Amino acid sequence: MSLAAGIARRAGRRALSSVPALFGVIVFTFLLMRVLPGDPAVFFASGPNAGQAEIQMIREQMGLDKPIPQQLLLYLKDIATGNLGRSMNTGQPVVTDLINRLPASLELTFTALLFALSLALPLGILAALKPNSLIDHGVRFLCSLGVCVPTFVSGLLLIYAFYYILGIAPDPTGRLDVFAAQPPVVTGFILIDAALAGEWESWRAAASQLVLPAATMALFVLAPLARMTRAAMLAVMTSDFVRTGEALGLSRRRVVLVYALRNALLPVITIMGIVFSTMLGANVLVEKVFSWPGVASYALDALLTSDYAPVQGFVLLMAFIFVLVNLTIDVLYGLADPRVSIE
Amino acid sequence: MTAPLLTIDDLKVTFSTRNGLVEALKGVSLSLDAGETLGIVGESGSGKSVTAFSVMQLLDRAGRITNGRITFRGQDITRASRAMLQPLRGAAMSMIFQNPRAALNPIRTVGLQIADVLRAHEPLSAKEARARALKLLEAVLIRDPEERLDAYPHELSGGMCQRVMIAMAIACEPALLIADEPTTGLDVTTQKTVMDLLAEITARRGMAMILITHDLGLAAQYCQRVAVMEQGLVVEQAVPASLFGAPRHPYTKRLVAASPTRHSTVDSLVVDAGEPAQAAPRVSPRRPAEPLLSVSNLVKTFDNGFRGVDDVSFDLAPGESLGLVGESGSGKSTISRLVCRLVDHSAGTIGFDGEDIGKVTSRDFYRSRFRKDIQIVFQDHGDSLNPRFSAFDCIADPLKLLAGVQDGRELRRQVEDCARRVGLPAEFLDRFPHQLSGGQKARVGIARAIAAKPRLLVLDEPTAALDVSVQAVILHLLDRLRRETGLAYLFVSHDLNVVRMMCERTIVLQKGRIVEQGPSGALFTDPASDYARELIAAIPHFDPEAATARHREAATAG
């Protein structure tokens, strides 16, 4: 009861304190988009020989003729009313585009995080239990590999191996095989939607599409997770309470998993939040390589065509997600460590 | 004759360190009968903990048993495998540690931790284990045991945590309990209740106990036999009365002399106190009209509304030494920090030399002309020295900042002079803190504090982290410095014997308030308040004279 209240209070305070940061992000992206080279009005004019009048008209339509402060105010008002503008590329409201595409990115990122954790935790623990052993060096090698090979290279390598040579992976084109039936959209997460509709054929198709991009992402974030797990485990294994567990005859399993690991997970939780936010936004290359219809590739396309609104919408979305992830991490932390809810 | 419960025979342990192999135990032999209580005393590095950890097979990776045998109940456990040890640990022999809060898992309730131990050795359901854990908490006299079962270690006091630890250690009725400095860091009154509890439990359940401690008084009071260790060897072992009454080994003699008792004086602590301290006779503190420090109605309220210091007033004359004693949370350290102007007070005045220095905020006090007059010596000599400053830099810093010494040669001369006065050889000045021993770091800390020639020195538990023999030397040094320079001391300590020796007057604090004050001698022999009486009674002591008398009695009777 008091624990939940403590966590809620912390989360509330954290949410409040992130409001100025969010405002800063809004202003920053607004200004950034105004100083980037290229005039969208020219770009969106009907053709290279469009007249000055036509460009002027588009400009007025987009509000680009007004002074910058006024543009900012208009922008803030739009955000407050949930209007993020319209994408020039797709012709859709940005909000609709983001809502359509966000589940794809989230599904990919969650799966990748799951892959990464299920690999990083055991590896980190094994490495910590036998420091400087063969296993430790092996894990270190794998982590270095994951970090220094760019995701587009590892992604292409995986495609080459599993699709081109072995032929066990489906062609890397989007979330679902063109021949598989699209399940009715409920959450936007195809795996969940397919499971809800009981369409296991589609589920399997979607899952097999997901494996390679998720593995590519997971490989990239394996290093921070595994190394942090190792470091935290090493520190915890020499702590007094682990020694107590040993001295009182607890089984090795219990000492490692209940006494050491649960304590070692605390810093890993923090890293997990950072890793998640990074994957969601920064792994645009993975989305590109696998033609994944996610928000990051959407934002990149928009950026390349000087399409302001989607980029602003994307940055804003990322900022919101970052705040949300931090809140989640806070709550998780509060649950995992009874000490933090007491200030 | 029955075989002893535990025998250690010619045990040698080496640690591999960066500087090669270090032999921590050089052939230790000990034995312990069932139900017996053995004390192992010695200073840090003597190998007493290593001995205990060897028995429990808890040596860390770097340590290795190279020779000898450890036999427990006739079974050789010197190089026992994990499979062989696991049923023994916790069930037949268990251990409690120093720093009880760290020894408990911070994110698991104490009830579950006790249950973990029970279920590791007995086939119990979670519910049965919980019921047994409740009984154990009752056995270690924890109030509201039902509620405490679901408490986390950070919600309990240090003494409570140690009781929980004891409950865990005795959960499966082991035949041997090893207590490694179980009460170090606890208040004297808590120490007494915890030790009484341990003694009572071991006696009632017929458990043998090894008590490892640096406190001779504790060993004398609670052990049937005491072994003295020095540098990896047992140098002497005997019953406490003869050991402390008539020590034979020179090291034991030194240790016994260095341990403050109710009769010892600063001079009696050090067996061979190089220079005669009497050279400069103590200036009897005439009470001048004007006190150097005059604190009145001092209050410190913390952010959470807790009154750490509550309406405290006292005076300190120039050249006088005033002791502040009390348990943790009594506000003694807070007062020392308030007087040093490191922390801002909430109400009251701090008069120094007739001026209210409390008016200057702690943030600005470094600019005050009184900064140089009030200096502090901290408890943790390791942590209070900048690790990137050599001893020279540490001492030179206040000289440069407060005394304005800029000239390089003059600076060196003054630093060397300071070092000489605290007995720090000049060749140590270029060393960094990690290259100095505890006693040497203490000397640097004192030299730094006296460098700017202050008039008031605040000493916050200056010897709490030191071994008794080093403590004796440092106390001796502090006493000599005061006689030579006429410094006034505000001496904060939890060790009442130390305060009695060092201070002319003593203030006893409880919960931020003064409960008693007066001349040290009278206060310690005839305390007026119940609290002071309780504090003094809780000091574990071995009385060399009483011990000698008992020893003589035993000898004539035998």
Chain B residue numbers touching A238 (CB-CB < 8 A): 60
Q: How far is B463 from chain A (nearest CA, A)?
A: 25
Check pLDDT > 70 for residue B283.
no
The predicted structure's pLDDT at residue A37: 67
Chain A residue numbers touching B116 (CB-CB < 8 A): 245, 248, 250, 254, 258
The predicted structure's pLDDT at residue B274: 47
d(CA B510, CA B494): 12
Residue B557 corresponds to which amino acid?
A: A
Question: CB distance B120–A254 less than 8 Å?
Answer: yes
Mean pLDDT of B516-532: 90
The predicted structure's pLDDT at residue A242: 93
User: Please, is A237 exposed, middle or buried when counting C-beta atoms within 10 Å of its C-beta (0-12, 13-18, 19+)?
Assistant: buried
Chain A residue numbers touching B56 (CB-CB < 8 A): 247
Contacting B residues, span 134-153, partner chain A, CB-CB under 8 Å: 152
In which band, very low, low, confident or very high, does the pLDDT at B553 lie, cut at 50, 70 and 90? low
The predicted structure's pLDDT at residue A46: 55
- Given CB atoms, is A238 within the 8 Å cutoff of chain B? yes
The predicted structure's pLDDT at residue B302: 86
Residue A177 has φ and ψ, to the nearest 5°, of -55, 140
The predicted structure's pLDDT at residue B105: 93
Short-list B150, B193, B201, CA closest to B171: B201
- Given CB atoms, is B58 within the 8 Å cutoff of chain A? yes
The predicted structure's pLDDT at residue B12: 93
Query: Which residue of chain A has the CA closest to B154?
Result: A339
Size of the A and B interface in Cβ pairs below 8 Å: 84
Chain A residue numbers touching B89 (CB-CB < 8 A): 246-249
Question: CB distance A339–B169 less than 8 Å?
Answer: no
SS3 A126: helix
The predicted structure's pLDDT at residue B405: 85
Task: Indicate the pairing of strand B505-510 with strand B456-460.
Answer: unpaired
Among A248, A255, A337, A343, most B C-beta atoms within 10 A, so best to mutate, is: A248
Note the pLDDT tens digit of each residue in B442-473. 999 999 999 989 999 999 988 887 888 888 88
The predicted structure's pLDDT at residue B168: 94
CB count within 10 Å of CB A343 equals: 7
Q: How far is A113 from chain B (nearest CA, A)?
A: 25
The predicted structure's pLDDT at residue B273: 46
Residue B477's H or E segment, with its range, is helix B468-485
The predicted structure's pLDDT at residue A70: 84
Side by side, which strands form the sheet with B75-76?
Answer: B20-32, B6-17, B63-72, B75-76
| Per-residue pLDDT tens digits of chain A, which is 343 residues long | 466 777 778 778 878 888 888 888 888 878 877 776 666 666 666 555 667 777 787 777 777 777 888 888 888 888 888 887 778 788 888 888 888 889 999 999 999 999 999 999 999 999 999 888 899 999 999 999 888 888 888 888 888 888 888 888 788 878 877 777 777 877 888 888 888 888 888 888 888 889 999 999 998 899 999 999 999 999 999 899 999 999 998 999 999 999 999 999 999 998 898 898 888 877 788 888 888 888 988 988 888 887 777 888 888 888 888 888 888 888 888 888 888 755 4
Q: How far is B118 from chain A (nearest CA, A)?
A: 9
Q: How far is B36 from chain A (nearest CA, A)?
A: 21
Task: Indicate the pairing of strand B355-356 with strand B93-96.
Answer: unpaired
Note the pLDDT tens digit of each residue in B356-389. 998 888 888 888 889 999 999 988 887 889 999 9
User: Please, is A312 exposed, middle or buried when counting C-beta atoms within 10 Å of its C-beta (0-12, 13-18, 19+)?
Assistant: buried
Chain A residue numbers touching B104 (CB-CB < 8 A): 241, 244
Query: Which residue of chain A has the CA closest to B170?
Result: A248
SS3 A146: helix
Mean pLDDT of B524-539: 89
Interface confidence, given as ipTM, is: 0.79
Note the pLDDT tens digit of each residue in B193-233. 889 999 999 999 999 999 999 888 889 989 999 999 998 99
- Mean pLDDT of the residues in chain B: 87
The predicted structure's pLDDT at residue B398: 92
pTM equals 0.81
Short-list A320, A316, A332, CA closest to A271: A332
Note the pLDDT tens digit of each residue in B54-63. 999 888 878 8
The predicted structure's pLDDT at residue A1: 47
Contacting A residues, span 242-301, partner chain B, CB-CB under 8 Å: 243-252, 254, 258-259, 262-263, 266
- Given CB atoms, is B263 within the 8 Å cutoff of chain A? no
Check pLDDT > 80 for residue B271.
no
Chain A residue numbers touching B176 (CB-CB < 8 A): none
Question: CB distance B103–A263 less than 8 Å?
Answer: no
- Given CB atoms, is A92 within the 8 Å cutoff of chain B? no
Do the Cβ atoms of B159 and A287 come closer than 8 Å?
A: no
Note the pLDDT tens digit of each residue in B102-154. 999 999 999 999 999 999 999 999 999 999 999 999 988 888 899 999 999 98
- Closest Cβ opposite residue B120 in set A238, A243, A251: A251
Query: Which residue of chain B has the CA closest to A245?
Result: B117
Report the Cα–Cα distance between both ends of chain B, in Å, rounded. Answer: 21
Q: How far is CA B529 from CA B321, B323, B330, B514, B535, in A?
A: 22, 17, 15, 11, 10
Q: How far is CA A242 from CA A250, B64, B158, in A?
A: 10, 20, 18
Chain B residue numbers touching A237 (CB-CB < 8 A): none
- Closest Cβ opposite residue A241 in set B87, B105, B121: B105
d(CA B358, CA B67): 62
